[in-house]
Structure 1
């Protein structure tokens, strides 16, 4: 990858439970297996779901003696000052400093953002080269992007988050003349076709056209993800019973294929695609045995 600095991937959505942290974690592990250096940043100082995923992986692999790749991870401390404005300033300064320190040492930085609007959320979005917005396959979740006609699926009015991203794009263009590749990802797709499902798909496609972004087929609703979180594993890890804590299933294999298709759809600057996870050398990962609180 011939770049002066890292490619920044931001996971953003103002609705909780959309799958941002799970998607961010899977992207990070996939890129590590391809031989890239990856840093991950969790700017949700309240919930820290992304950080929990990272820690679960580290603790499980240590307890089982497993050799699996780990990203260099940073998370914001929970600020407890009396002034909200001062807390936001502290978080803003810490985040900016962390990104500046690592952007030339890694190939990719993956940032997971909270499900609400903050100055930090806006900063993270303006830094994105690729913005990934997972959306559950429902009209309720689509409403976060734009208010759509319940009959035709035609967007009537952009939502707050849609306008937030549009502002971030303008800021990015003014700073370095580059745009943000924004991708809406259909997530938790139902296995059964229905009128509501078709309406959501139509609404998402028309909303994407209005917003100037792309739509990628995402991940179906699968039990496998709930079982992988406690052990910090992903569908890209080897299909090994000891590593997974149980026998792999067809759901696991299908989910892996879906995530591979999602990575392809993101059009990331990956110069070499390595099949069968052969790009990772376990000896290269000893430096990434803990996560770091940004301080």
Structure 2
């Protein structure tokens, strides 16, 4: 096995415990952006019940087949929920399902594996978090979503204590280090930022930076509130596909700004370089 083939995949995990924050939108844009950057990308959806990422990628595949247009597609592996009777059996089965999915993606040549976790706390989500090289936690830019990270004093916005989710990330970090001495680079991504400066936006930002120093994450400006994301969602498309997909959307200034937001997210991830193609053996006459 060559050095390139033996290299472990880089895991990007999208996780939080609150829905409606743009997690799956972020997942599919990260996946397509990395594909277009030359990476071989694998994808896993750990929320078998909702299956948002799985459905988006299926819609993308259907669009490609129906339109006869070539768009980059990741290798996707579902991770089914366990129907076992006991907690121990459920955890063992779901752990095996995850491990088998990862092994299959590695066998398929995936350099990066993007894992979309459910918006609830369960064993499979915690297990998936523990594999992250980069963990991206999207939140809406308000103190409503901030509560997922920490409990905050209502009067002066002082941080009282980290949340259960933050404590879960801490446990995932310990699990990851004990497994292979690896570290999790945690990025909290502020979505739906207001276009104008406001007191709430400033207060959220200042409190978030204080918490970042306390529990160890980086902050990142994410995606604004843009109609284009919803327009593309049902077809499994991203902003990077608009020109090729030929769906009658002309790129305006807001679309260009949105693409720059996506590129900023990709630029914040400390990625390894794409693997070079394996040299072809020379044919001997």
Does the alignment reach a TM-score above 0.5? yes
Distance (whole Å) between structure 2 residues aligned to residue 177 and residue 89 of structure 1: 23
Q: Which residue of 2 aligns with 1:43?
A: 46
Q: Aligned residue for 1:166?
A: 170
CA contact (8 A) 1:14 1:144 kept: yes
2:141 pairs, out of 128, 137, 143, with 137
Higher gyration radius (CA): 2
2:200 match: secondary structure: helix
| Cα 1:249/1:56, change in 2 over 3 Å | farther
Which residue in the other structure is 2:76 paired with?
73
User: How far apart, in 1, do the equivalents of 2:64 and 2:192 lie?
Assistant: 28
Deviates more, 1:93-102 or 1:208-217: 93-102
Q: Which residue of 2 aligns with 1:149?
A: 153
SS in 1 for 2:234: helix
Partner of 1:219: 223
Q: Mark the CA change 1:84 to 1:206 in structure 2 (over 3 Å): closer, same or farther.
A: same
- Residue 200 of structure 1: aligned partner: 204
Q: 1:52 aligns with which of 26, 40, 55?
A: 55
Do the aligned partners of 2:61 and 2:73 also contact (CA within 8 Å) in 1?
Answer: yes
Determine which of 96, 103, 107 is the counterpart of 1:100.
103
Q: Deviations over 1:97-117 (max 9, x none)?
A: 211332362110000000111
Which residue is equivalent to 2:31?
28
Structure 2 unmatched runs, 5+ = 276-285
Residues 14 and 136 in structure 2, CA contact (< 8 A), matched pair in contact too: yes
- Aligned counterparts of 1:182 and 1:258: Cα–Cα separation in 2: 18
Residue 183 of structure 1 is matched in structure 2 by 187
CA-based RMSD? 2.1
Residue by residue over 1:79-110, the C-alpha shift from the partner in whole angstroms, topping out at 9 and shown as x without a partner, is 55565664444222211221133236211000
Q: Secondary structure at the match of 1:244?
A: coil
Secondary structure in 1 matching 2:157: coil
Aligned length: 272
Find the aligned partners of 2:83 and 2:25 in 1 and give their Cα distance.
Answer: 27
Distance 2:13 2:148 in 1: 17
User: What secondary structure is seen at the aligned counterpart in 1 of 2:115?
Assistant: strand
- Structure 1: stretches of 5+ with no match in the other structure: 273-295
Paired with 1:36 and 1:222, the residues of 2 have a C-alpha distance of 27
Given that 2:34 and 2:41 are in contact with CA atoms closer than 8 Å, whether structure 1 keeps it comes out as yes
Partner-residue secondary structure (3-state), 1:231: coil
Higher relative contact order (CA 8 A, sep 6+): 1
Contact preservation (8 Å) 2:187, 2:218: yes
1:263 is the counterpart of 2:249: no
Whether 1:253 aligns to 2:256 is yes
Decide which moves more: 28-37 or 100-109. 100-109
- Give the 3-state SS of the residue equivalent to 1:184 in structure 2: strand
**2:267, 2:156 → 1: CA distance?**
30
Q: Deviations over 1:104-155 (max 9, x none)?
A: 6211000000011111111111111110101110101010000123344332
Q: Distance in 2 between matches of 1:77 and 1:120?
A: 10
Distance 1:46 1:239, change over 3 A: same
Contact between 1:153 and 1:206, CA under 8 Å: does it hold in 2?
Answer: no
Q: Kindly report structure 1 stretches of 4+ aligned residues shifted beyond 6 Å.
A: none
Pairwise CA distance, 1:192:
2.6
